Amino acid sequence: MFKPLQVLDEKNKILRNKAEDVVFPLSNEDLKLIKLMKKHLLYSQLEDKCEQYNLRPGMGLAFPQLGILKKIIVIVYEKNEGNFEEYVIINPHIISHSVEQIAAFEGEGCLSVSREVEGHVLRYARISVAGFNEQGKPLEIRARDELAIAMQHEIDHLNGILFFDKIDPNKPYFTEDEIRLI
């Protein structure tokens, strides 16, 4: 039986705290939660499950969004229709990035933010992220475009940053002449 996760709302002060590095091995509770996060994110992107469980669509979650200040992010990315890739990165950090910046054309959303937020968030078009998998083995992931945006968004959660913090109030929108909108 699937029970949707309780994602903290943006008003919760926990979301503004910095997460702590994770020490290995992971606890059974952390491993179970990672598994639930993967399922929640997958179901939120499948129309029938999304309706059945009344989920808001999302492709990423960070432990702080569940009230746990640990550096763990989970992303379920639909690479092409019906083909999903799962990413679990523990203690993630960006080790390199492109000069080129992009923004999500319609703006970003967040499972912790239940309101519409106007504006573009500038993100690197390509990044390399280093961290560890669930077994504590080092990993490095290269991401571009939507996946790169999602990883930067989730890593921000580990630092107490919400996406709308990065929208410039003096220039909330960019044109396609100024930046590549995806």
- Given 106, 154, 176, 178, which residue is catalytic? 154
Please say if 10 is a catalytic residue: no
- Model pLDDT for residues 50-69, shown as the tens digit of each residue: 999 999 999 999 999 999 99
- Helix residue spans in the chain (DSSP H): 28-45, 47-52, 145-158
How sure is the predictor about 88, in pLDDT bands with cuts at 50, 70 and 90?
very high
- Model pLDDT for residues 124-145, shown as the tens digit of each residue: 999 999 999 999 999 999 999 9
Q: Where exactly are the structural domains of the chain?
A: 13-181
pLDDT of 1 > 90? The answer is: no
Other Cβ atoms closer than 10 A to 168: 12
How sure is the predictor about 16, in pLDDT bands with cuts at 50, 70 and 90?
very high
Question: Does residue 101 contact residue 181 with C-beta atoms inside 8 Å?
Answer: no
Q: Which distant-in-sequence residues (6+ apart) come within 8 Å of 111 by Cβ?
A: 7, 56, 58, 61, 65
CATH superfamily, domain at 13-181: Peptide deformylase (3.90.45.10)
| Cα 107 to Cα 125: distance, rounded to the nearest angstrom | 15
Give the per-residue pLDDT at 96.
Answer: 98
Give the per-residue pLDDT at 161.
Answer: 98
Question: Does residue 130 contact residue 155 with C-beta atoms inside 8 Å?
Answer: no
| Cα 22 to Cα 44: distance, rounded to the nearest angstrom | 27
The rounded percent of the chain whose pLDDT value lies above 70 is 100
Give the per-residue pLDDT at 98.
Answer: 98
**In the numeric block, which tokens belong to residue 47?**
């129309």
